[in-house]
């Protein structure tokens, strides 16, 4: 039963990672976040990535998303290793 729950959490986290990647890509496209889909994707990804904004800013570039992704993937890797155990 625990394996099924962990597997489901990994699937949900992978889907959420895709949402975060979509938000990063949309940040490079002018006015992409102004669409209905863009607003939903941005609000969903800001739940996690918003906690890291402004930590590592160099000039006009904000590299904190990278920190967020690294920590997220470390946690996800830990969950996957629990599934293998």
Domain spans of the chain, in order of start: 56-85
d(C-alpha 27, C-alpha 68), whole Å: 16
Q: Which pLDDT score, from 0 to 100, does residue 62 have?
A: 81
6 or 15, higher pLDDT: 15
Residues β-bridged to residue 58: 61
Q: Which pLDDT score, from 0 to 100, does residue 64 have?
A: 87
Residues 50-67, buried b or exposed e (16+ Cβ, 10 A)? eebeeeeeeeeeeebbee
- The tens digit of pLDDT for each residue in 30-61 reads 999 999 999 999 999 999 988 888 888 888 88
What's the predicted TM-score (pTM) here?
A: 0.83
Establish how many alpha carbons lie within 13 A of residue 37's alpha carbon, considering only the half-sphere containing its beta carbon: 4
Show the CA angle centred on residue 43, arms to residues 13 and 82, nearest 5°.
Answer: 15
> Which whole number is the average pLDDT over 8-15?
91
Q: How does strand 61-62 pair with strand 57-58?
A: antiparallel
């Amino acid at each position: 039963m625990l394996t099924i729950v962990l597997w489901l959490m990994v699937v949900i986290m992978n889907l959420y990672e895709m949402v975060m990647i979509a938000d990063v890509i949309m940040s490079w496209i002018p006015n992409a976040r102004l669409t209905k889909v863009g607003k939903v994707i941005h609000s969903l990804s800001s739940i996690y990535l918003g906690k890291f904004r402004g930590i590592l800013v160099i000039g006009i570039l904000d590299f904190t998303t990278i920190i967020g992704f690294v920590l997220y993937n470390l946690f996800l890797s830990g969950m996957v290793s629990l599934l293998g155990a």
